[in-house]
Structure 1
Amino acid sequence: MGNKNGGKTTIILRCLEREEIPKPTLALEYTFGRRARGHNTPKNVAHFWELGGGTSLLELIRIPITSNNIRSFAVVLVLDLSKPHELWPTMEKLLQVTRNHVNKILTKLEKTNPEVATEMKQWMRNNLQRDHPDYELIEPFPIPLVIIGSKYDIFHEFDSEMRKIISMTLRFVSHYYGASLVFTSKSEALLLRARVLINHLAFGYDKSKLLSVDHSKPLFIPAGRDSLSQIGPPPASSSDIGKVCANTPLELWKKVFEKTFPPKSICDLQDAKDPAQDSQYAEYEVDVMRAQKNQELEQYKRNTSKSWKHMDLDSEVL
């Protein structure tokens, strides 16, 4: 899930090694992939659900995440680095709805299968060793999370200070949630980095030992490999930070970030295409019937409009 037109489909196709031209995702789309970890071993199957429409279809998030698959589920959040003003609201809305839904499932599991609920909570904490200085300071996301910053090629042309603020902020958010972070673009080398992280979660492949925290280069930080001391304080002066009223570290970073990149109102539904008009879903008999019903509806509207115009309305108030 993530920004509309952020490159989600392209990333999935590369992960599954499919040479297809990406099509716009409508609503919630499903595909799957198979991989074997070695010769003469059975293939693992991974199920991929892609949420289209940016933040306009949040209610669909609950469909693929169920109590039956919660133990093996992971979230990949794709954020368009070329649209920094949409970055925080997109991330916040999608992760908040997902977290709320997952927490409801975990609450039910605590009653029906407490061992599984405890196991999951402990597993998320295991991404950070107990002797890590930030162990008590972070709030791990309830299921594995990968944050992908897409369109790095465009982002790389930004002013260096802008790039630094965005990079530092995403490093903090990823570390705070116990997530992995990778920047990618259409470059095969960078897509491969994202593929490595996703294939680890999807098929159990080995974790990558790569680490890149240089803000002048594409970031690649597996979960648990960063620290608050290395990230540093929010990118603002001490006096400005002192004026910010925030209850949590995450809220502090949000307010500092939005001072530089004030959120724009996102209206994903405004330019959303009608799936019924999409040629890839053409079905002759259904389309003929739909056209007939549309004509009937238009005729009904015209008749209704005429009847109201000619109606002699009584001006008396009863």
Structure 2
Amino acid sequence: MILHREKSIWDVAVNECMQREKAKDDADKESSLEGAESNVLIMGSKDAGKTSLILRFLEKEEKPKATIALEYTFGRKAKGHNMNKDIVHIWELGGGTSLSQLIEVPISKSTLLNCSIILVLDLSEPNKLWYTAETLLKAAQDRVEAVIRKASAQNPKIYEEIKSRAWKRIGEQHPDRDVLDPFPLPMVILGMKYDLFQNLESEKRKLIARTLRFLAHNYGASLQFCSSKMENLMSKGKQQLGHLAFGTSVSIKQGVQDHNKPISITAGSDGMDVIGLPPVKGDDIGRGNARTPLELWKQAFTAVFPQEAVEKEMAADPSKDPQYRESAVDNVRAQKDKELEKYKKKLERKAKTNQLAGQMGDVS
């Protein structure tokens, strides 16, 4: 006799996921035949416009919804008159810094050489900006280094290859070469909510802009200020994503370095002599523990904008969110909830019966 085990909610969910993955894999194989593939990880400040950027890039007319953890989507682009299409796998990390451990999913041995990063920072919340950037960049750096160590077993030259690529993005003969620390993967820093940022005091805007220019230059990243409320700036953000995804050009005729305007600087085009020294007094430098330019800028920035502790809030229960409805899973869940309620009532009746029996025994 064959026993059929009743399917659990987990079984249904896993089956649903496997079906979707198979459909996606089939689509990828069909569309990306001989086409290039790339991976873009978008991470950064919470509620700063990461989802809005992705939706605009994919030309989807949808209302942005909160990202629970790590979400995946993809886009395709035709290669001229060729039937083949390039494909980009887009990973969005939600939760600000609270789920940084999920970075290990999009950054792996199979994606290392075609992966890039967009770091989205909320310009209107400078008291969280440095902490967010520092936490996520460290998590990404640690992950990349761990993957390189594993990949080196099969490809001993992979570290040198990645390092060489990083310096080519900046310029191998850049005058700041001795003081820069290029990030292993291509990176763009997007300063979002420029519409709110421009209302800050001039000196505060100047410090934020100069600090982000330093961060971008230090890591060999491009820097672009954006706002989902300003279409002309959002289009620049889309161009940056398109460049990482498909290698399309970014139309920056001339870099913008003025803090009174939306900053727009390509990787390797800035300079320490132009950015200037961090606004730290000589006495403060002697009293501080800063040993590198990065630590000096951190000291200067956090002195004006003390960093707030970013709470690791638990997201709302996704099972209650309409955007995550799955009919098969929800039906089983509803059935199990009813069965649980019946079981609880049965236990309550049994407890009352036992209690009455005990009381009658005491009376007798």
- What is the TM-score of this pair, normalised by structure 2? 0.78
> What SS class does the counterpart of residue 111 from structure 1 fall into?
coil
Pick from 155, 160, 167: which aligns with 1:113? 155
Structure 1: which 5+ residue stretches go unaligned? Answer: 303-318
Distance in 2, matches of 1:156 and 1:169, equals 16
* Matched pairs, number: 302
The equivalent of 2:321 in structure 1 is: 278
Structure 1 moving runs of 4+ over 6 Å = 296-299
Q: CA deviation at 1:125?
A: 1.1
Structure 1 residues 245, 205: CA separation in 2 closer, same or farther (over 3 Å shift)?
Answer: same
The equivalent of 1:130 in structure 2 is: 172
The equivalent of 1:181 in structure 2 is: 223
Moved more, 99-108 or 126-135: 126-135
The equivalent of 2:276 in structure 1 is: 232
The aligned runs of 1:1-318 (5 Å cut-off) are 1-40=43-82, 42-186=84-228, 187-210=230-253, 211-269=255-313, 272-282=315-325, 283=327, 284-289=330-335, 291-292=337-338
Distance in 2, matches of 1:237 and 1:16, equals 47
Kept in 2, the 8 Å contact 1:37–1:205? The answer is no
Kept in 2, the 8 Å contact 1:79–1:148? The answer is yes
Structure 2: which 5+ residue stretches go unaligned? Answer: 1-42, 349-364
Work out the percentage of aligned pairs sharing the same amino acid: 45
Q: CA deviation at 1:293?
A: 7.7
Distance in 1, matches of 2:208 and 2:140, equals 23
Q: CA deviation at 1:276?
A: 1.6
Distance in 2, matches of 1:113 and 1:181, equals 32
Distance in 2, matches of 1:230 and 1:294, equals 67
Distance in 2, matches of 1:296 and 1:232, equals 70
> What SS class does the counterpart of residue 179 from structure 2 fall into?
coil
Amino acid at match of 2:247: G
Structure 1 residues 38, 286: CA separation in 2 closer, same or farther (over 3 Å shift)?
Answer: same
Distance in 1, matches of 2:169 and 2:220, equals 7
Distance in 2, matches of 1:294 and 1:84, equals 48
Q: Deviations over 1:18-65 (max 9, x none)?
A: 222111111111111111343346321001000111111111110111
Tell me which structure has the larger Cα radius of gyration. 2
Q: Deviations over 1:224-264 (max 9, x none)?
A: 11110010001233333343221221111111111111111
> What SS class does the counterpart of residue 114 from structure 1 fall into?
coil
Q: Deviations over 1:146-187 (max 9, x none)?
A: 111100000000000010111111000110000111100021
Kept in 1, the 8 Å contact 2:252–2:264? The answer is no
Q: CA deviation at 1:122?
A: 0.6
